């Protein structure tokens, strides 16, 4: 069995199908690890959800910020933006089945020295602690009161982790770290406006994975989310958002030998940060 980690898809269904053909993916034997942001901005979000759901246990996905946004819009606690491409899902006959499946996906997955998460881990968090914190959010998403959680999920504060946090403030910090963070201070204070290249990071901040003595540095953390960062292949971090949506390739890496596979974007959309 081969395990392939795949970067952000964001509704790019045609490229995903081409990538699966390129790696000769065998759904009976191989496994996909998806870094989240399955949907939005691309034109094939509905087809992407249907395809990944159909793979069952042969696809492991963690939730990204766009996936959570879809769930919040579907619950009426967030509004569609003018660049969203989620209407096809929201109007689909199997909408409820797809949204229920999405709501029951993980926020983080750890196995064999690898950690799969959409954006990153705060420097204070060991892998074991990150798994425990992810379960807190997953439980809220799967509860009967998930509507309330989604309605309280948004916001930038608190900016940093405190073990004494409770309630929705605690859950919000966890969600923001796992699905939105790119940079932070050495103390773990997050900043969410920055989306650019590493060379342009504001003073006092650095990529979350470069924080000295990060508690998760012994694991290999597989992420997406940061298209301006692009492909990064290090012992302790694999970043796979190569900006397929914006005209870059869609990327996959076979974990057993770190072989990289890429396919070209077919229909890029204009950047609108």
- pTM beyond 0.95: yes
Structure tokens at 11: 């509704």
Percent of the chain with pLDDT over 70: 99
Per-residue pLDDT tens digits for 87-96: 999 999 999 9
Residue 67: partners with Cβ closer than 8 Å, 6 or more residues away:
36, 37, 38, 39, 102, 105
3-state secondary structure of 16: helix
Q: What is the pLDDT of residue 273?
A: 45
Ordered domains of the chain (ranges, CATH): 3-263 (3.60.21.10)
Looking at residue 270, what is its pLDDT? 58
Average pLDDT for 236-264: 97
For 204-253, the DSSP string reads: T-EEGGGSTT-TTTTSEEEE---TTT--EE-SSEEE----GGGTS-EEEE
Q: How many CB atoms lie within 10 A of CB 269?
A: 17
pLDDT tens digit sequence for 165-177: 999 999 999 999 9
Q: How many Å apart are CA 79 and CA 129, to the nearest integer?
A: 33
DSSP state of 80: -
Residues 202, 186 contacting (CB under 8 angstroms): no
pLDDT tens for each residue of 25-79: 999 999 999 999 999 999 999 999 999 999 999 999 999 999 999 999 999 999 9
């Amino acid at each position: 069995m081969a395990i392939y980690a795949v970067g952000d898809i964001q509704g790019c269904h045609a490229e995903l199908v081409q990538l699966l053909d390129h790696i000769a993916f065998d759904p009976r034997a191989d496994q996909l690890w998806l870094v989240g942001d399955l949907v939005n901005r691309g034109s094939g979000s509905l087809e992407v959800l249907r395809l990944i759901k159909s793979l069952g246990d042969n696809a492991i996905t963690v939730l990204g910020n766009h996936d959570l946004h879809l769930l919040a819009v579907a619950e009426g606690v967030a509004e569609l933006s003018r660049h969203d491409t989620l209407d096809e899902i929201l109007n689909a006959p199997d909408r409820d089945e797809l949204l229920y499946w999405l709501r029951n996906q993980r926020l983080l997955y750890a196995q064999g020295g690898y950690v799969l998460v959409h954006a990153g881990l705060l420097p204070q968090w060991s892998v074991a602690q990150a798994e425990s914190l992810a379960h807190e959010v997953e439980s809220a998403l799967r509860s009967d009161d998930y509507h309330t959680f989604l309605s309280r999920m948004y916001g930038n504060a608190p900016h940093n982790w405190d073990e004494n946090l409770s309630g929705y403030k605690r859950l919000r910090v966890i969600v923001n770290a796992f699905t939105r963070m790119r940079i932070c201070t050495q103390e773990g204070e997050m900043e969410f406006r920055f989306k650019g290249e590493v060379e342009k990071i504001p003073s006092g901040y650095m990529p979350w994975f470069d924080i000295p003595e990060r508690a998760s540095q012994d694991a290999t953390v597989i992420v997406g989310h940061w298209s301006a960062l692009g492909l990064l292949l290090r012992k302790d971090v694999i970043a796979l958002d190569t900006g397929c949506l914006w005209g870059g390739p869609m990327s996959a890496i076979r974990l057993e030998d770190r072989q990289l596979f890429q396919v070209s974007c077919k229909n890029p959309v204009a950047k609108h940060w």
